[in-house]
Structure 1
Amino acid sequence: MTDLTSPSVYRADSAGFFGDFGGAELPPFLVEPIAEVAAAYERASQDTEFQDQLQSLLAKYVGRPSLLYFAENLTAHLGGARVYLKREDLNHTGAHKINHCLGEALLAKRMGKTKVIAETGAGQHGVALATAAALVGLECEIHMGAIDVEKQHPNVVRMELLGAKVVAVQEGGRSLKEAVDSAFGVYAASPDEYFFAIGSVVGPHPYPSMVRDFQSVVGREARQQILEAEGRLPDALVAAVGGGSNALGLFDAFLTDEAVRIIGVEPAGEGLDGDRHAATMTLGSPGTLHGMRTKVLQQEDGSPSPVHSIASGLDYPGVGPQHAHLERIGRVEYVSVTDEETLGAFQTLSRVEGIIPALESSHALAHVVKLAPELPADAILIANLSGRGDKDVDFVAERLRGA
């Protein structure tokens, strides 16, 4: 029986596996470049100068610690549990993504790279990486599905203003999965000059662990803040899951606390009975995607299935391998919410608290809307508000007009 209170249960082995998931399944010509990233990160993680530089930037540039906000109006509106929001939307660039992008940009500079390259869905990772690259003096190239380029136009403009080259990917479904494929292809051709800055806890080892580590500041802060505010740990945590970086950022500091219920929320899209969803944890099966062994939504021939979510940042047919492991050992619950439920939560928080959330974060909020009334009034619930909704307002307005 797995000891869920043991920290080692939640760390990858030397080959990057979380139980049966993870690893680095790569073509031979990428084995050495990715191994160099792993070695460089291992050295940096033990280097106090690197860590001090990163912590200084998180405090003085990003604006950390982010607030843990008691949503008094939302709590009263829903009834039941006391709802707290971890306000990653208040970070510089407007989402949690800046946390790991600064770490990756600093690591790229340390390795002597001249360019960073990445994929983006909603554009928040692209904006954060372009910001970090500008700060440390690196060139930046962002690959983005053509559908998302149109849907998230304000973030495209922001990336370009920051000096990034934005590549609109026209192949396949023209969304996040294709953006990853496109960026990875460019990186594979020139790994000596590029650092591939993966935008979530996905991909080959060391990326799932490295991005989680950079994001773990979210949970460490939330743990200290809730103890100061309430004198005890929360009863439940809720966060959206696509690749899963914001979720693991919050969850990591609480994993060994068995009394804390942990819930990841993924996109049911237009419903789980069709194919217009991205519910990998709910309906996926073990497979290989983008250099990792994880759960994947896949077709009979093993190729990734087309996916859909109202939130571009969750529009992905896989998930971080640690999430697949956490589900298998029974530590984290995974549920799904539909596009319509997400839109409803987006409007509720906007009107009740005066906070416009990202559509990605609104998935977590949609589950909070269901869960909070089921819990007693003395229960404490923390939801990760992973990003702000500026990027989504035009799309949401158009969607509501057409409703």
Structure 2
Amino acid sequence: MNYHVNQQGFYGEFGGAFIPEMLYPNVEELRQQYLDIIKTESFQEDYLKLLKDYVGRPTPLYFAKNLSKQYKTKIYLKREDLCHTGAHKINNTIGQILLAKRLGKNRIIAETGAGQHGVATATVCALMGLQCIVYMGEIDIQRQAPNVARMKMLGAEVRPATSGSKTLKDATNEAIRDWINNPIDTFYIIGSVVGPHPYPDMVARFQSIISEEIKKQLVEKEGTENPDYVIACVGGGSNAAGAFYHFLEDPNVNLIAVEAAGKGIDSGESAATSVLGKTGIIHGSKTLLMQTEDGQITEPYSISAGLDYPGVGPLHAHLFQSGRAVFMSATDDEAMLAGLNLCKQEGIIPAIESSHALAVLNQKQFKSDDIVVINLSGRGDKDLNTYINYFNL
């Protein structure tokens, strides 16, 4: 089975570009040109140079000695938390800003939930001298204040989304409205493997540097390219798409995607789309989506601002439906405790998103000689207030 996107922009039955007529020229321009542009020598040269000298890649693949001892298996952490801006998001925004410049766009818009993608977009706009407008849910603005301040310091305008749940979904709606109204000069940098084709494929390609490095680094450390397991958290799913990308066609590598169960899968306050979702269309893409009987989107919930998206990207919907990836979930409590455990065991404070991936270690038994790679998608600086309140620190 093929796990990469087909010519029509579908992964199995999921994907496509279900968009208003007004957006058709923008999306079509991108679809026709993105592969030709990113495959050119000059693009690759610019992209890889910035990843090395500006982002700080390759990020380490760190053997977590204490964690490995605790769980009696071999655990490696892919340290995306050490990227410039504190998360994997910068891998994608560097790629998309180079694409925007080559398409002659001078106004950049983005959506953000936890603020990491907003910060990464504001960062590359400052670097390239382009106007930046970031849409962010009003609730997320309150709970991610440090990231809002960072975006403003980097010269971005942060516009609150005040409709619906006032979180990521609504910020995305606002960004799409803006794009419809400003089709000529505006480029929309989407932060995850969601949205209309070609975005899910494009974002996955820019994030695939993660799995490309994992393969090289494992040869050096273990004498093999392939781990037994790759584990990553999934909201929209860009860090997981990047960590899985070069292993998709190899059935010997087990892929585990971890969603946010919130206060429990059946609590009514959850974001575990694979369990709770059914096929629907959101933000221009056919995918698995949490919705009511009559197709209204159900509000997701997670203690982590980056995982409360009501759907998953179409690649992940396909990986789930085909059985290629195992989807698990972690509650707020399980994630917070797993995050604190990493702090105490390894001296690394993870983003709460990444803590969901770590929670799998308490849910699944691994063999002593298994090589388990966990993608540590971001660092916990932005979440300190949530940690403080949760643990009464």
Aligned match of 1:286 in 279, 282, 296? Answer: 279
Contact kept, 8 Å, 1:200 with 1:244, in 2: the verdict is yes
1:319-360 CA distance string (max 9 Å, x none)? 100111111222111011100000001100011111000010
Aligned match of 1:194 in 186, 198, 205? Answer: 186
The secondary structure found in structure 1 opposite 2:250 is coil
Q: Which moved more, 1:393-402 or 1:270-279?
A: 393-402
Aligned to 1:269: 262
Aligned match of 2:104 in 112, 123, 126? Answer: 112
Aligned match of 1:251 in 244, 247, 257? Answer: 244
The secondary structure found in structure 2 opposite 1:13 is coil
Query: Counterparts of 1:24-173 in structure 2 under 5 Å?
Result: 24-78=17-71, 80-173=72-165
Q: How many residue pairs are counted as aligned between the two chains?
A: 392
CA RMSD of aligned residues (A): 1.0
Paired with 1:324 and 1:394, the residues of 2 have a C-alpha distance of: 32
Aligned to 1:342: 335
Q: CA deviation at 1:42?
A: 2.0
Unpaired runs of 5+ residues, structure 2, are: none
Aligned match of 2:317 in 324, 330, 337? Answer: 324
Contact kept, 8 Å, 2:285 with 2:314, in 1: the verdict is yes
Paired with 2:160 and 2:125, the residues of 1 have a C-alpha distance of: 20
Q: CA deviation at 1:45?
A: 2.2
1:171-202 CA distance string (max 9 Å, x none)? 11011101100111111100111101100000
Structure-2-length-normalised TM-score: 0.98
Aligned to 1:309: 302
Q: Which moved more, 1:257-266 or 1:210-219?
A: 257-266
1:242-298 CA distance string (max 9 Å, x none)? 000000100011112211111000010001112100011121100000000000000
Aligned match of 1:394 in 377, 385, 390? Answer: 385
Structure-1-length-normalised TM-score: 0.96
Question: What is the letter of the counterpart of residue 206 of structure 2?
Answer: F
Unpaired runs of 5+ residues, structure 1, are: 3-8
Q: CA deviation at 1:369?
A: 3.3
Paired with 1:10 and 1:48, the residues of 2 have a C-alpha distance of: 26
Paired with 2:36 and 2:231, the residues of 1 have a C-alpha distance of: 33
Please state if 1:183 is matched with 2:210.
no
Paired with 2:281 and 2:118, the residues of 1 have a C-alpha distance of: 25
Paired with 1:164 and 1:368, the residues of 2 have a C-alpha distance of: 39
Paired with 2:361 and 2:159, the residues of 1 have a C-alpha distance of: 36
Question: What is the letter of the counterpart of residue 313 of structure 1?
Answer: G
Contact kept, 8 Å, 2:38 with 2:99, in 1: the verdict is no
Question: What is the letter of the counterpart of residue 271 of structure 2?
Answer: A
The secondary structure found in structure 2 opposite 1:288 is strand
Question: What is the letter of the counterpart of residue 172 of structure 2?
Answer: V
Paired with 2:8 and 2:86, the residues of 1 have a C-alpha distance of: 34
Percent pairwise identity: 49
Contact kept, 8 Å, 1:44 with 1:51, in 2: the verdict is no
Question: What is the letter of the counterpart of residue 393 of structure 1?
Answer: L
Paired with 1:135 and 1:244, the residues of 2 have a C-alpha distance of: 26
Please state if 1:382 is matched with 2:373.
yes
The secondary structure found in structure 1 opposite 2:392 is helix
